[in-house]
Amino acid sequence: MLTLALTLGAALAQEHGHQDPGHTHDAEEEHRFADVEKWSAVFDDPARDAWQKPAELVATLHIAAGATVADIGAGTGYFEPYLAKAVGPTGHVVAIDVEPTLVDHLAKRATAEGLTQVEARLGKPEDPGLKPAEADVVLLVDTYHHVSDRVAWFGRLKGATRPGGRLVIVDFDPASSDEHGPPRDHRIPADQVLKELDQAGWTLVDRPTLLTAQYVLVLTPKP
Ligand SMILES: C[S@@+](CC[C@H](N)C(=O)[O-])C[C@H]1O[C@@H](n2cnc3c(N)ncnc32)[C@H](O)[C@@H]1O
Protein backbone atom coordinates (compact mmCIF):
# COMPACT_ATOMS: atom_id res chain seq x y z
CA MET A 1 0.00 0.00 0.00
CA LEU A 2 1.28 3.41 -0.84
CA THR A 3 1.86 5.46 2.27
CA LEU A 4 1.64 9.07 3.27
CA ALA A 5 5.41 9.17 2.84
CA LEU A 6 4.69 9.95 -0.81
CA THR A 7 4.62 13.73 -0.58
CA LEU A 8 2.87 15.95 -3.07
CA GLY A 9 6.23 17.17 -4.30
CA ALA A 10 7.59 13.68 -4.84
CA ALA A 11 4.36 12.54 -6.41
CA LEU A 12 4.26 15.51 -8.74
CA ALA A 13 7.89 14.89 -9.67
CA GLN A 14 6.87 11.33 -10.54
CA GLU A 15 3.82 12.65 -12.34
CA HIS A 16 5.91 15.06 -14.39
CA GLY A 17 8.65 12.53 -15.02
CA HIS A 18 8.06 11.85 -18.67
CA GLN A 19 6.33 14.90 -20.04
CA ASP A 20 7.08 18.31 -21.40
CA PRO A 21 4.72 21.24 -20.77
CA GLY A 22 3.12 20.98 -24.19
CA HIS A 23 2.62 17.24 -24.05
CA THR A 24 -0.30 15.56 -25.75
CA HIS A 25 -2.87 13.34 -24.11
CA ASP A 26 -1.39 9.93 -24.81
CA ALA A 27 -2.14 6.43 -23.59
CA GLU A 28 0.24 6.79 -20.64
CA GLU A 29 -1.56 9.95 -19.52
CA GLU A 30 -4.87 8.09 -19.64
CA HIS A 31 -5.74 6.74 -16.17
CA ARG A 32 -2.62 8.17 -14.55
CA PHE A 33 -4.78 9.23 -11.61
CA ALA A 34 -6.97 6.11 -11.47
CA ASP A 35 -5.66 4.95 -8.08
CA VAL A 36 -7.93 6.78 -5.63
CA GLU A 37 -6.12 5.55 -2.52
CA LYS A 38 -2.74 6.63 -3.82
CA TRP A 39 -3.82 10.10 -4.90
CA SER A 40 -6.00 10.71 -1.84
CA ALA A 41 -2.89 10.20 0.30
CA VAL A 42 -1.08 12.77 -1.82
CA PHE A 43 -3.68 15.43 -2.59
CA ASP A 44 -5.43 15.26 0.79
CA ASP A 45 -2.28 15.07 2.87
CA PRO A 46 -3.04 17.34 5.86
CA ALA A 47 0.48 18.80 5.55
CA ARG A 48 -0.59 20.35 2.24
CA ASP A 49 -2.82 22.88 3.98
CA ALA A 50 0.17 24.80 5.38
CA TRP A 51 1.44 25.89 1.96
CA GLN A 52 -1.67 25.43 -0.20
CA LYS A 53 -3.76 27.62 2.14
CA PRO A 54 -7.04 26.44 0.61
CA ALA A 55 -9.32 28.55 2.82
CA GLU A 56 -7.30 31.74 2.21
CA LEU A 57 -7.03 31.00 -1.50
CA VAL A 58 -10.78 30.56 -1.89
CA ALA A 59 -11.42 33.65 0.29
CA THR A 60 -9.19 35.80 -1.90
CA LEU A 61 -11.38 34.95 -4.91
CA HIS A 62 -14.43 36.62 -3.30
CA ILE A 63 -16.85 34.01 -4.60
CA ALA A 64 -20.45 35.14 -4.14
CA ALA A 65 -23.01 33.10 -2.24
CA GLY A 66 -25.21 31.31 -4.76
CA ALA A 67 -22.49 31.29 -7.43
CA THR A 68 -21.57 28.34 -9.64
CA VAL A 69 -17.91 27.32 -9.44
CA ALA A 70 -16.34 24.71 -11.70
CA ASP A 71 -13.26 22.92 -10.36
CA ILE A 72 -11.72 21.35 -13.45
CA GLY A 73 -9.25 18.59 -12.65
CA ALA A 74 -10.84 18.29 -9.20
CA GLY A 75 -8.84 15.16 -8.36
CA THR A 76 -9.87 13.68 -5.03
CA GLY A 77 -11.89 16.76 -4.03
CA TYR A 78 -9.36 18.61 -1.87
CA PHE A 79 -10.89 22.01 -2.71
CA GLU A 80 -14.56 20.99 -2.68
CA PRO A 81 -15.33 21.65 1.03
CA TYR A 82 -13.87 25.17 0.69
CA LEU A 83 -15.68 25.90 -2.56
CA ALA A 84 -18.96 24.50 -1.20
CA LYS A 85 -18.67 26.77 1.84
CA ALA A 86 -17.99 29.79 -0.38
CA VAL A 87 -21.02 29.28 -2.63
CA GLY A 88 -23.24 28.31 0.29
CA PRO A 89 -26.32 26.10 0.25
CA THR A 90 -27.85 27.83 -2.77
CA GLY A 91 -24.69 27.67 -4.86
CA HIS A 92 -23.30 24.94 -7.08
CA VAL A 93 -19.84 23.38 -7.33
CA VAL A 94 -19.20 21.33 -10.46
CA ALA A 95 -16.23 19.07 -9.72
CA ILE A 96 -14.96 17.78 -13.06
CA ASP A 97 -12.32 15.16 -13.74
CA VAL A 98 -11.48 12.92 -16.67
CA GLU A 99 -10.73 9.97 -14.41
CA PRO A 100 -13.88 7.86 -13.76
CA THR A 101 -12.59 6.41 -10.48
CA LEU A 102 -11.95 9.93 -9.16
CA VAL A 103 -15.39 11.14 -10.25
CA ASP A 104 -16.94 8.21 -8.40
CA HIS A 105 -14.84 9.12 -5.35
CA LEU A 106 -15.81 12.82 -5.66
CA ALA A 107 -19.51 11.92 -5.67
CA LYS A 108 -19.21 9.58 -2.66
CA ARG A 109 -17.08 12.09 -0.74
CA ALA A 110 -19.57 14.89 -1.35
CA THR A 111 -22.41 12.71 -0.07
CA ALA A 112 -20.40 11.55 2.97
CA GLU A 113 -19.48 15.14 3.84
CA GLY A 114 -23.00 16.47 3.27
CA LEU A 115 -21.88 18.77 0.45
CA THR A 116 -25.21 18.72 -1.38
CA GLN A 117 -24.17 21.57 -3.69
CA VAL A 118 -21.25 19.56 -5.14
CA GLU A 119 -21.87 17.75 -8.41
CA ALA A 120 -19.20 15.30 -9.58
CA ARG A 121 -18.99 15.26 -13.37
CA LEU A 122 -16.95 13.15 -15.77
CA GLY A 123 -15.13 15.29 -18.33
CA LYS A 124 -13.37 14.50 -21.57
CA PRO A 125 -9.78 15.55 -22.25
CA GLU A 126 -10.71 17.69 -25.24
CA ASP A 127 -13.77 19.33 -23.65
CA PRO A 128 -13.96 21.50 -20.49
CA GLY A 129 -17.22 19.67 -19.65
CA LEU A 130 -19.39 22.68 -18.88
CA LYS A 131 -22.66 23.89 -20.38
CA PRO A 132 -22.86 27.29 -22.11
CA ALA A 133 -22.72 30.14 -19.56
CA GLU A 134 -22.78 27.68 -16.65
CA ALA A 135 -19.99 29.00 -14.39
CA ASP A 136 -19.19 32.20 -12.53
CA VAL A 137 -15.72 30.97 -11.60
CA VAL A 138 -13.63 28.21 -13.21
CA LEU A 139 -10.71 26.93 -11.12
CA LEU A 140 -7.81 24.78 -12.29
CA VAL A 141 -5.27 23.80 -9.61
CA ASP A 142 -2.17 21.88 -10.77
CA THR A 143 -4.11 20.86 -13.86
CA TYR A 144 -3.08 23.40 -16.53
CA HIS A 145 -0.21 21.27 -17.86
CA HIS A 146 -2.51 18.27 -18.30
CA VAL A 147 -4.66 20.08 -20.84
CA SER A 148 -3.74 19.33 -24.45
CA ASP A 149 -4.14 21.80 -27.30
CA ARG A 150 -4.55 24.49 -24.68
CA VAL A 151 -5.29 27.53 -26.85
CA ALA A 152 -8.27 25.75 -28.43
CA TRP A 153 -9.41 24.22 -25.10
CA PHE A 154 -9.33 27.53 -23.20
CA GLY A 155 -10.92 29.24 -26.18
CA ARG A 156 -13.87 26.85 -25.84
CA LEU A 157 -13.97 27.46 -22.09
CA LYS A 158 -14.91 31.14 -22.62
CA GLY A 159 -18.40 30.07 -23.70
CA ALA A 160 -18.90 28.29 -20.37
CA THR A 161 -18.53 31.45 -18.27
CA ARG A 162 -21.32 33.85 -17.39
CA PRO A 163 -20.97 37.62 -17.86
CA GLY A 164 -18.33 38.75 -15.35
CA GLY A 165 -17.07 35.18 -15.11
CA ARG A 166 -13.49 34.44 -14.08
CA LEU A 167 -10.90 31.77 -14.76
CA VAL A 168 -8.40 31.02 -11.98
CA ILE A 169 -5.16 29.14 -12.68
CA VAL A 170 -3.09 27.98 -9.73
CA ASP A 171 0.17 26.21 -10.51
CA PHE A 172 3.75 25.76 -9.35
CA ASP A 173 6.04 28.70 -10.01
CA PRO A 174 9.48 27.84 -11.46
CA ALA A 175 10.80 31.07 -9.91
CA SER A 176 9.76 30.09 -6.37
CA SER A 177 12.35 28.90 -3.86
CA ASP A 178 9.65 27.00 -1.94
CA GLU A 179 10.54 23.30 -1.70
CA HIS A 180 7.04 22.04 -2.54
CA GLY A 181 6.11 20.94 -6.03
CA PRO A 182 7.73 19.22 -9.00
CA PRO A 183 11.25 19.91 -10.26
CA ARG A 184 11.58 23.48 -11.52
CA ASP A 185 12.20 22.49 -15.13
CA HIS A 186 8.86 20.69 -15.18
CA ARG A 187 6.87 23.76 -14.16
CA ILE A 188 5.19 26.12 -16.61
CA PRO A 189 6.13 29.77 -16.03
CA ALA A 190 3.23 32.14 -15.42
CA ASP A 191 4.33 34.19 -18.45
CA GLN A 192 3.82 31.18 -20.71
CA VAL A 193 0.39 30.52 -19.21
CA LEU A 194 -0.57 34.16 -19.75
CA LYS A 195 0.72 34.12 -23.34
CA GLU A 196 -1.27 30.99 -24.19
CA LEU A 197 -4.39 32.31 -22.48
CA ASP A 198 -4.03 35.64 -24.27
CA GLN A 199 -4.09 33.69 -27.55
CA ALA A 200 -7.18 31.85 -26.28
CA GLY A 201 -8.94 35.17 -25.59
CA TRP A 202 -8.42 35.68 -21.84
CA THR A 203 -6.99 38.71 -20.06
CA LEU A 204 -5.36 38.94 -16.61
CA VAL A 205 -7.36 40.94 -14.05
CA ASP A 206 -5.74 39.93 -10.75
CA ARG A 207 -2.69 38.12 -9.44
CA PRO A 208 -3.02 37.43 -5.70
CA THR A 209 0.33 36.73 -4.03
CA LEU A 210 -0.71 34.76 -0.95
CA LEU A 211 1.06 31.52 -1.97
CA THR A 212 4.83 31.14 -1.99
CA ALA A 213 5.10 27.93 -4.05
CA GLN A 214 2.50 28.78 -6.69
CA TYR A 215 1.18 31.62 -8.81
CA VAL A 216 -2.50 32.50 -8.83
CA LEU A 217 -3.76 34.02 -12.06
CA VAL A 218 -7.27 35.44 -12.33
CA LEU A 219 -8.53 36.12 -15.87
CA THR A 220 -11.68 37.16 -17.66
CA PRO A 221 -12.68 36.69 -21.31
CA LYS A 222 -11.56 39.56 -23.53
CA PRO A 223 -14.48 41.75 -24.59
C1 LIG B 1 -2.38 17.10 -10.22
S2 LIG B 1 -4.10 16.65 -10.14
C3 LIG B 1 -4.80 18.05 -9.28
C4 LIG B 1 -6.01 17.69 -8.44
C5 LIG B 1 -6.66 18.84 -7.67
N6 LIG B 1 -6.92 20.00 -8.52
C7 LIG B 1 -5.85 19.24 -6.47
O8 LIG B 1 -5.30 20.35 -6.47
O9 LIG B 1 -5.78 18.46 -5.51
C10 LIG B 1 -4.67 16.88 -11.82
C11 LIG B 1 -6.05 16.32 -12.07
O12 LIG B 1 -6.50 16.76 -13.36
C13 LIG B 1 -7.21 15.71 -13.99
N14 LIG B 1 -7.20 16.03 -15.44
C15 LIG B 1 -6.22 15.85 -16.34
N16 LIG B 1 -6.59 16.32 -17.55
C17 LIG B 1 -7.84 16.82 -17.40
C18 LIG B 1 -8.77 17.44 -18.29
N19 LIG B 1 -8.48 17.67 -19.57
N20 LIG B 1 -9.99 17.81 -17.80
C21 LIG B 1 -10.29 17.60 -16.49
N22 LIG B 1 -9.45 17.01 -15.61
C23 LIG B 1 -8.24 16.63 -16.05
C24 LIG B 1 -6.46 14.46 -13.56
O25 LIG B 1 -7.23 13.28 -13.69
C26 LIG B 1 -6.14 14.81 -12.09
O27 LIG B 1 -7.16 14.38 -11.22
CATH number of the domain encompassing residue 24: 3.40.50.150
- 9 pLDDT band, cuts 50/70/90, is low
**Which atom of ligand 1 is least distant from the CA of 147?**
19
Range of the domain at 62: 8-221
Tell whether 191 is covered by a domain: yes
Work out the angle at residue 86's Cα, subtended by the Cα atoms of residues 65 and 93, and round it to the nearest 5 degrees: 90
Q: Model-level pTM?
A: 0.92
Residue 80 Cβ inside 6 Å of ligand 1? The answer reads: no
Residue 141 Cβ inside 6 Å of ligand 1? The answer reads: yes
Residue 128 Cβ inside 6 Å of ligand 1? The answer reads: no
Query: For residues 125 and 98, is the Cβ–Cβ distance under 8 A?
Result: yes
Q: How many residues does the chain have?
A: 223
Res 2 pLDDT > 80: no
At 51-94, the pLDDT tens digits run: 999 999 999 999 999 999 999 999 999 999 999 999 999 999 99
Tell whether 1 is covered by a domain: no
CA of 210 to the centre of ligand 1 (A): 22
Tell whether 2 is covered by a domain: no
Predicted pLDDT of residue 30: 65
Res 201 pLDDT > 80: yes
Mean of the per-residue pLDDT values of the chain: 90
Tell whether 147 is covered by a domain: yes
Res 195 pLDDT > 60: yes
Residue 33 Cβ inside 6 Å of ligand 1? The answer reads: yes
Predicted pLDDT of residue 157: 98
Residue 96 Cβ inside 6 Å of ligand 1? The answer reads: yes
CA of 73 to the centre of ligand 1 (A): 3
Predicted pLDDT of residue 10: 56
Closest Cα to residue 135, out of 157, 114, 120, 117? 157
Predicted pLDDT of residue 26: 53
Strand, coil or helix: 72: strand
Count of domains forming the chain? 1
Predicted pLDDT of residue 11: 60
- 19 pLDDT band, cuts 50/70/90, is very low
Predicted pLDDT of residue 45: 97
Tell whether 3 is covered by a domain: no
Predicted pLDDT of residue 29: 64
Predicted pLDDT of residue 138: 99
Dihedral sign (CA 163, 164, 165, 171): positive
Pocket test for ligand 1, best of 38, 143, 188 (most atoms within 8 A of CB): 143
Dihedral sign (CA 103, 19, 79, 68): negative
